[in-house]
Structure 1
Amino acid sequence: MPRFEAVETLPDEPLVLSLKGRDGTVRDYEIQPVDAETWYKFSALGQVFEAASAGQKPNAADAEVADQLADELGALGLQRASLGADNVSAMLADGVSAPDFRRAYTTALVWHTSGGDTDRAMSVWTAGKAPTPSPDPTPETESSTSPDSTSTAAVSATRRPASGTGTSSRPKRKSKTGRA
């Protein structure tokens, strides 16, 4: 049986994003690579976003992990996990504009989910939004174009109140636009 010995892991280089604050000063924010568990959750979230932007229904397992992540962290928690809590606090204190903050968050999320692919992250940084996948060349099926079909592609960042029983079940979304 082949055996792969442990290899020395090279330190990951941070992603450095330069943003202008309300005072006009450009500051650098170092985004550190995430741990394996966060990467796994972000990967599922990335798959859900890619499917949604391509007009497709996401893989059920990815959608479930993404929903759990959104429930667990909420919108600001997702941003803190992607950008780093210290960076989020600094960006807010520095008065970074909402569009620049969104751009930084989206860039960091793509960088994390792509395994540190700086080319993909740069395409998001320069475009200001995540790239839209090219349309699938295969013909659409009736079920994917039905106006009555439901979608769970949108991830809600709003936390639901705890049920008090220690269990929770996510209600089915019925949205024709893909938004919760």
Structure 2
Amino acid sequence: MPSIDAADLSADELDLLITHYLHRQAHVIGPGWEAIDATAAGVRDQLSKQIMATAGDLTTVDVWLMLFDSAHPCSQHRYDPLPEYVHDDEPLHIKFTMHRHVDGQQGADIGNCFTPLLTVLALYGGVARSLAFSADDPTLRGEGGPDRGIAITWEVENWEAEEVRRQEFIYTGDGDKRVPVLQSDTNPGYDAD
């Protein structure tokens, strides 16, 4: 499965994916492309809000994008070529981490790519999974690290996002021998593969 390191992610490259997708829609369906853009923006905002609301002191987010070659021939517009990875038949995997700042705001190691990445996900489709650990409440933090976590998986298709799985767990054990113990799972039969 192709993968991009969060440090190598480029907002310009993500914007190029967005531009090509919407340009193609303008040619294929005409003025209705604006409704797709607005719907995708709503999905992006929904995912952003949900990821931020459940983000902990440390959160890992995995995104699998179902990209395709969205370039469309046009005599009026010239865009840079799409990256080679859009020609792969497998999802593109991007993993990044988020952390809570002293002021309570979330920071991400993908910087200004967070919003365009979620826009690409909303347009092309795919899967997002966040795994968050919280330690805001001192009673939730043990000697070896956070004692509680939550994992949420969303599937995105046709400009809609659906939460398909939510898992909550606690950690037991000491030091390096700490292991997660599942407390609840809304969809134990779910398999993203």
TM-based fold match above 0.5: no
Larger helix percent: 1
Q: TM-score under structure 1 normalisation?
A: 0.30
Q: TM-score under structure 2 normalisation?
A: 0.29
Larger strand percent: 2
